[in-house]
Chain A
Amino acid sequence: MKRIDAIRKIVKNVKDEIIISSTGMISRELYAVKDRPRNFYVQGSMGCTLGIGLGIAINSKHKVIVISGDAETLMSLGTLALHKKLNPKNLKHYILDNGCHSSTGAQPTCSDVINFAKIAPNTVVLKVSKEKGDAPRIPLSPKQIKRRFRNAICSDNS
Protein backbone atom coordinates (compact mmCIF):
# COMPACT_ATOMS: atom_id res chain seq x y z
CA MET A 1 0.00 0.00 0.00
CA LYS A 2 1.23 3.49 -0.80
CA ARG A 3 1.56 5.83 2.18
CA ILE A 4 -0.94 8.28 0.67
CA ASP A 5 -3.48 5.46 0.32
CA ALA A 6 -3.00 4.57 3.99
CA ILE A 7 -3.70 8.21 4.83
CA ARG A 8 -6.83 8.14 2.63
CA LYS A 9 -8.00 5.08 4.56
CA ILE A 10 -7.39 6.72 7.96
CA VAL A 11 -9.23 9.95 7.15
CA LYS A 12 -12.06 8.43 5.12
CA ASN A 13 -14.67 8.55 7.89
CA VAL A 14 -13.22 11.37 9.97
CA LYS A 15 -15.77 13.85 11.33
CA ASP A 16 -14.74 16.26 14.09
CA GLU A 17 -11.55 14.49 15.17
CA ILE A 18 -8.33 16.42 15.58
CA ILE A 19 -5.51 15.11 13.39
CA ILE A 20 -1.85 15.73 14.25
CA SER A 21 0.46 14.70 11.43
CA SER A 22 4.23 14.42 11.50
CA THR A 23 6.81 16.47 9.67
CA GLY A 24 7.64 15.87 6.02
CA MET A 25 5.66 13.90 3.49
CA ILE A 26 3.01 12.61 5.90
CA SER A 27 1.73 16.14 6.56
CA ARG A 28 2.04 17.03 2.87
CA GLU A 29 0.06 13.97 1.81
CA LEU A 30 -2.57 14.58 4.49
CA TYR A 31 -2.94 18.13 3.18
CA ALA A 32 -3.33 16.78 -0.36
CA VAL A 33 -5.89 14.15 0.69
CA LYS A 34 -8.05 16.08 3.16
CA ASP A 35 -7.14 19.56 4.30
CA ARG A 36 -9.25 20.94 7.16
CA PRO A 37 -8.69 23.41 10.02
CA ARG A 38 -8.69 20.59 12.55
CA ASN A 39 -5.50 19.19 11.01
CA PHE A 40 -2.35 20.37 12.76
CA TYR A 41 0.51 19.85 10.35
CA VAL A 42 3.72 19.50 12.33
CA GLN A 43 6.70 20.76 10.38
CA GLY A 44 10.06 20.28 12.04
CA SER A 45 10.48 18.91 15.57
CA MET A 46 10.79 15.32 14.35
CA GLY A 47 9.95 12.93 17.15
CA CYS A 48 7.47 15.23 18.89
CA THR A 49 4.20 14.50 17.05
CA LEU A 50 2.86 11.89 19.49
CA GLY A 51 3.80 14.15 22.41
CA ILE A 52 1.72 16.99 20.96
CA GLY A 53 -1.20 14.59 20.44
CA LEU A 54 -0.91 13.38 24.05
CA GLY A 55 -0.89 16.97 25.31
CA ILE A 56 -4.15 17.60 23.47
CA ALA A 57 -5.79 14.30 24.44
CA ILE A 58 -5.20 14.61 28.18
CA ASN A 59 -6.22 18.27 28.23
CA SER A 60 -9.49 18.01 26.32
CA LYS A 61 -12.32 15.71 25.35
CA HIS A 62 -11.51 15.92 21.67
CA LYS A 63 -10.88 12.72 19.78
CA VAL A 64 -7.28 12.85 18.58
CA ILE A 65 -5.69 10.97 15.67
CA VAL A 66 -1.89 11.05 15.44
CA ILE A 67 -0.30 10.04 12.15
CA SER A 68 3.44 9.51 12.23
CA GLY A 69 6.17 7.46 10.59
CA ASP A 70 8.48 4.74 11.84
CA ALA A 71 11.63 6.91 11.88
CA GLU A 72 9.76 9.67 13.71
CA THR A 73 8.43 7.21 16.31
CA LEU A 74 11.82 5.56 16.83
CA MET A 75 13.28 8.96 17.58
CA SER A 76 11.22 9.21 20.79
CA LEU A 77 10.48 5.70 21.95
CA GLY A 78 10.08 7.00 25.49
CA THR A 79 6.92 8.75 24.36
CA LEU A 80 5.35 5.35 23.62
CA ALA A 81 5.94 4.43 27.26
CA LEU A 82 4.40 7.73 28.37
CA HIS A 83 1.47 7.02 26.05
CA LYS A 84 0.92 3.71 27.83
CA LYS A 85 1.27 5.35 31.24
CA LEU A 86 -1.22 8.15 30.50
CA ASN A 87 -3.42 5.87 28.37
CA PRO A 88 -5.89 8.46 27.08
CA LYS A 89 -8.90 6.72 25.54
CA ASN A 90 -9.44 9.59 23.12
CA LEU A 91 -6.16 9.16 21.22
CA LYS A 92 -5.40 6.82 18.36
CA HIS A 93 -1.90 6.58 16.92
CA TYR A 94 -1.30 5.40 13.37
CA ILE A 95 2.31 4.63 12.46
CA LEU A 96 2.97 4.45 8.71
CA ASP A 97 5.92 2.09 8.59
CA ASN A 98 8.00 2.01 5.40
CA GLY A 99 11.14 0.84 7.18
CA CYS A 100 13.13 3.80 5.95
CA HIS A 101 13.68 7.55 5.84
CA SER A 102 12.01 7.84 2.43
CA SER A 103 12.33 11.61 2.02
CA THR A 104 16.11 11.61 2.49
CA GLY A 105 16.89 8.69 0.17
CA ALA A 106 15.33 5.61 1.79
CA GLN A 107 18.07 4.97 4.35
CA PRO A 108 16.89 2.07 6.56
CA THR A 109 15.44 2.43 10.06
CA CYS A 110 15.30 -0.18 12.86
CA SER A 111 11.52 -0.54 12.66
CA ASP A 112 11.84 -4.19 11.58
CA VAL A 113 13.07 -5.22 15.03
CA ILE A 114 10.35 -3.58 17.09
CA ASN A 115 6.60 -3.97 17.54
CA PHE A 116 5.32 -0.47 18.32
CA ALA A 117 1.77 -1.71 18.93
CA LYS A 118 3.01 -3.97 21.74
CA ILE A 119 4.45 -1.00 23.63
CA ALA A 120 1.64 1.52 23.42
CA PRO A 121 -2.16 1.25 23.47
CA ASN A 122 -4.46 2.34 20.62
CA THR A 123 -1.55 2.05 18.21
CA VAL A 124 -1.97 0.74 14.69
CA VAL A 125 1.03 0.03 12.47
CA LEU A 126 0.33 0.14 8.74
CA LYS A 127 3.07 -1.20 6.47
CA VAL A 128 3.51 1.10 3.50
CA SER A 129 5.77 1.16 0.46
CA LYS A 130 9.04 3.07 0.32
CA GLU A 131 8.18 5.61 -2.38
CA LYS A 132 9.07 9.16 -1.50
CA GLY A 133 5.78 10.51 -2.86
CA ASP A 134 5.25 13.74 -4.74
CA ALA A 135 2.72 15.75 -2.74
CA PRO A 136 3.60 19.46 -2.96
CA ARG A 137 4.60 21.60 0.00
CA ILE A 138 1.74 22.88 2.15
CA PRO A 139 0.90 26.42 1.01
CA LEU A 140 0.15 27.60 4.55
CA SER A 141 2.63 29.24 6.89
CA PRO A 142 3.18 27.58 10.29
CA LYS A 143 1.46 30.59 11.91
CA GLN A 144 -1.57 30.14 9.62
CA ILE A 145 -1.73 26.42 10.48
CA LYS A 146 -1.70 27.25 14.18
CA ARG A 147 -4.15 30.13 13.98
CA ARG A 148 -6.85 28.33 12.06
CA PHE A 149 -6.43 25.19 14.20
CA ARG A 150 -6.83 27.13 17.44
CA ASN A 151 -9.79 29.08 16.03
CA ALA A 152 -11.51 25.82 15.07
CA ILE A 153 -10.78 24.13 18.40
CA CYS A 154 -11.01 26.88 20.96
CA SER A 155 -14.42 28.05 19.68
CA ASP A 156 -15.92 24.76 20.87
CA ASN A 157 -13.40 23.80 23.52
CA SER A 158 -14.65 21.14 25.87
Chain B
Amino acid sequence: MKKYNFIVGVPGSRLKDFTDKIENYIPCTREDEAMALAVGAYLVGKKPLVFLQNSGLGNMVDIITSLLKPYDIKIDLLISVRNKPKHHAFMGKITKRLLKLLEYKNCKLLIQ
Protein backbone atom coordinates (compact mmCIF):
# COMPACT_ATOMS: atom_id res chain seq x y z
CA MET B 1 0.00 0.00 0.00
CA LYS B 2 3.07 2.22 0.20
CA LYS B 3 2.71 3.24 -3.42
CA TYR B 4 -0.53 5.07 -2.61
CA ASN B 5 -0.70 8.36 -0.74
CA PHE B 6 -4.48 8.79 -0.75
CA ILE B 7 -6.86 5.94 0.07
CA VAL B 8 -10.60 6.33 -0.15
CA GLY B 9 -13.56 4.00 -0.52
CA VAL B 10 -16.69 2.42 0.82
CA PRO B 11 -16.11 -0.11 3.60
CA GLY B 12 -17.05 -3.76 3.24
CA SER B 13 -17.02 -6.67 5.66
CA ARG B 14 -14.42 -8.49 3.54
CA LEU B 15 -12.29 -5.34 3.42
CA LYS B 16 -12.16 -4.91 7.19
CA ASP B 17 -8.69 -6.46 7.50
CA PHE B 18 -7.48 -4.04 4.85
CA THR B 19 -9.02 -0.93 6.40
CA ASP B 20 -7.88 -1.99 9.88
CA LYS B 21 -4.28 -2.06 8.66
CA ILE B 22 -4.10 1.34 6.99
CA GLU B 23 -3.81 4.43 9.11
CA ASN B 24 -5.58 7.05 7.08
CA TYR B 25 -8.42 6.51 4.71
CA ILE B 26 -11.66 8.33 3.98
CA PRO B 27 -14.86 6.30 4.18
CA CYS B 28 -17.33 7.67 1.65
CA THR B 29 -21.10 7.59 1.31
CA ARG B 30 -21.05 6.04 -2.17
CA GLU B 31 -18.58 4.47 -4.55
CA ASP B 32 -18.84 7.20 -7.20
CA GLU B 33 -18.18 9.81 -4.52
CA ALA B 34 -15.05 7.89 -3.49
CA MET B 35 -13.94 7.85 -7.11
CA ALA B 36 -14.61 11.60 -7.43
CA LEU B 37 -12.35 12.29 -4.42
CA ALA B 38 -9.68 10.06 -5.95
CA VAL B 39 -9.91 11.99 -9.24
CA GLY B 40 -9.44 15.25 -7.33
CA ALA B 41 -6.39 13.78 -5.61
CA TYR B 42 -5.01 12.58 -8.95
CA LEU B 43 -5.49 16.05 -10.47
CA VAL B 44 -3.12 17.54 -7.87
CA GLY B 45 -0.49 14.85 -8.34
CA LYS B 46 -1.39 12.26 -5.70
CA LYS B 47 -1.47 8.51 -6.22
CA PRO B 48 -4.91 7.39 -5.03
CA LEU B 49 -6.48 3.98 -4.40
CA VAL B 50 -10.23 3.36 -4.24
CA PHE B 51 -11.61 0.36 -2.36
CA LEU B 52 -15.11 -1.06 -2.58
CA GLN B 53 -17.03 -4.28 -2.60
CA ASN B 54 -18.36 -5.46 -5.92
CA SER B 55 -21.96 -4.67 -5.00
CA GLY B 56 -21.00 -1.00 -5.33
CA LEU B 57 -19.38 -1.33 -8.74
CA GLY B 58 -22.69 -0.44 -10.38
CA ASN B 59 -22.68 2.90 -8.57
CA MET B 60 -19.40 3.70 -10.30
CA VAL B 61 -20.32 2.96 -13.88
CA ASP B 62 -21.25 6.53 -14.81
CA ILE B 63 -18.10 8.17 -13.44
CA ILE B 64 -15.98 5.51 -15.15
CA THR B 65 -17.67 5.86 -18.55
CA SER B 66 -18.20 9.63 -18.58
CA LEU B 67 -15.21 10.98 -16.63
CA LEU B 68 -12.35 8.49 -16.36
CA LYS B 69 -12.56 7.28 -19.95
CA PRO B 70 -12.90 10.59 -21.85
CA TYR B 71 -10.35 12.40 -19.65
CA ASP B 72 -8.00 9.40 -19.73
CA ILE B 73 -7.68 9.18 -15.94
CA LYS B 74 -6.58 5.88 -14.47
CA ILE B 75 -7.37 5.15 -10.82
CA ASP B 76 -6.44 1.86 -9.14
CA LEU B 77 -9.28 -0.12 -7.58
CA LEU B 78 -9.30 -2.75 -4.85
CA ILE B 79 -12.55 -4.71 -5.04
CA SER B 80 -13.73 -7.44 -2.74
CA VAL B 81 -15.85 -9.87 -4.69
CA ARG B 82 -18.77 -11.50 -2.92
CA ASN B 83 -20.98 -14.23 -4.32
CA LYS B 84 -23.05 -15.00 -1.25
CA PRO B 85 -25.67 -14.66 0.11
CA LYS B 86 -28.23 -14.60 -2.66
CA HIS B 87 -28.36 -10.84 -3.14
CA HIS B 88 -24.64 -10.89 -4.00
CA ALA B 89 -24.86 -13.81 -6.39
CA PHE B 90 -25.59 -12.05 -9.67
CA MET B 91 -23.04 -9.25 -9.26
CA GLY B 92 -20.58 -11.89 -8.08
CA LYS B 93 -21.16 -13.75 -11.31
CA ILE B 94 -20.70 -10.72 -13.59
CA THR B 95 -18.04 -8.63 -11.77
CA LYS B 96 -15.11 -9.75 -13.94
CA ARG B 97 -17.16 -9.42 -17.13
CA LEU B 98 -18.42 -5.99 -16.11
CA LEU B 99 -14.86 -4.77 -15.52
CA LYS B 100 -13.82 -6.21 -18.88
CA LEU B 101 -16.77 -4.51 -20.56
CA LEU B 102 -15.70 -1.23 -18.91
CA GLU B 103 -12.12 -1.89 -20.14
CA TYR B 104 -11.00 -1.36 -16.55
CA LYS B 105 -7.60 -2.95 -16.21
CA ASN B 106 -6.00 -1.42 -13.15
CA CYS B 107 -7.90 -3.23 -10.45
CA LYS B 108 -7.15 -5.95 -7.96
CA LEU B 109 -9.90 -8.38 -7.04
CA LEU B 110 -10.11 -10.01 -3.63
CA ILE B 111 -12.23 -13.06 -4.35
CA GLN B 112 -13.77 -14.83 -1.37
Min CB distance, A56 to chain B, in Å? 4
| Contact-size category for B | 20 to 34
Contact B70 A149 (CB under 8 A): no
Given known A-B contacts A48-B36, A56-B40, A76 and B30 have beta carbons under 8 A apart: yes
- Does B33 contact A142, Cβ atoms closer than 8 Å? no
Q: Which stretch in B11-19, B60-68, B80-88, B102-110 binds the other chain?
A: B60-68
A96–B66 alpha-carbon span in the complex (Å): 22
Given that A76-B30, A79-B33, A81-B29 are known contacts, is A59 also in contact with B66, CB under 8 Å in the complex?
no
Distance, CA A108 to CA B42, complexed state (A): 35
Interface of A is mostly: helix
Cβ A146 vs Cβ B43 within 8 A: yes
Q: A48-B63, A82-B29 are in contact. Are A153 and B37 (CB under 8 A)?
A: no
Contacting A44 at CB < 8 Å: which of B29, B43, B48, B66? Answer: B66
Tell me the count of chain A residues lying within 8 A, CB to CB, of chain B.
Answer: 38
Where chain B touches its partner, the secondary structure class is helix
Note all chain A residues with C-beta closer than 8 A to B32: 45, 47-48, 51, 76
**Residue of A whose beta carbon sits closest to that of B42:** A55
> In chain A, what residue has the closest Cβ to B66?
A44
> Do A45 and B67 touch (CB < 8 A)?
yes
Task: Please give the residue numbers on chain B whose beta carbons come within 8 Å of chain A beta carbons, in ascending order.
Answer: 6, 8, 26, 28-30, 32-46, 48, 62-63, 65-67, 70-73
User: Using a CB–CB distance below 8 Å, which chain A residues touch chain B?
Assistant: 20, 40, 42-60, 62, 76, 78-79, 81-82, 86, 141-143, 145-146, 149-150, 153-154, 157
